[in-house]
Amino acid sequence: MFKLIRLFLFMMPPEDAHYFTMNLLKRLGNFLPMAFIIKSLYKSKPRPVTVAGLQFPNVTGLAAGFDKNARYIDTLAMLGFGHVEIGTVTPLPQPGNEQPRLFRIPKDSALLNRMGFNNEGMEVVAERLKNVKSNIIIGGNIGKNKVTPNEEAINDYEKCFKHLYDLVDYFTVNVSSPNTP
């Protein structure tokens, strides 16, 4: 079964496969019996850990880049993650690099990411964060817009920080994107 699903997903460009899978999981999670089944399959053993004064329910977290726009926090919580870092979020929406920008490396079971901070901007992300139902630790990964000169980058970080401050539990400041000029 897994091989069949994998074959189907590998027929799509990697970025499309990502959104297809996450949107499907999100829809399944909205159906309560299915949400219960998924939660029971992915229920993680409670292993709380405290870092910087934050009590994480378990040690399994998801780094920034997977859920750039805070679309899937409740879905990811259903899958057993103890925390999710959203972003990188910039003050203004930006499309990121041209597609294709996500590449499969099957022989290494890896992906190569050259996304370029594609995101819907801090205002859209903030509205989504206000609607999160899960009790999960949320990190906010913030960055500067591509069009912002480096000497003005601090202004972008400050805008994102102030806009998301009451909605996330911690921040990561992304000062270096190797695939963004």
Catalytic residue among 44, 109, 134, 177: 177
Q: Are 104 and 14 in contact (CB under 8 A)?
A: yes
Q: Is the dihedral of CA 104, 95, 68, 151 positive or negative?
A: positive
Based on the residue annotation, tell me whether 134 is a catalytic residue of this protein: no
Phi and psi dihedrals of 86, rounded to 5?
A: -90, 160
Query: In this structure, what token pair is assigned to residue 175?
Result: 């000062």
User: How would DSSP label each residue in 57-84?
Assistant: SSS-EE-TTSSTTSSSHHHHHHTT-SEE
Which phi-psi region, left, alpha or beta, contains residue 52 (left: φ > 0; alpha: ψ -120 to 50)? Answer: left
User: Which residues are marked as active site?
Assistant: 177
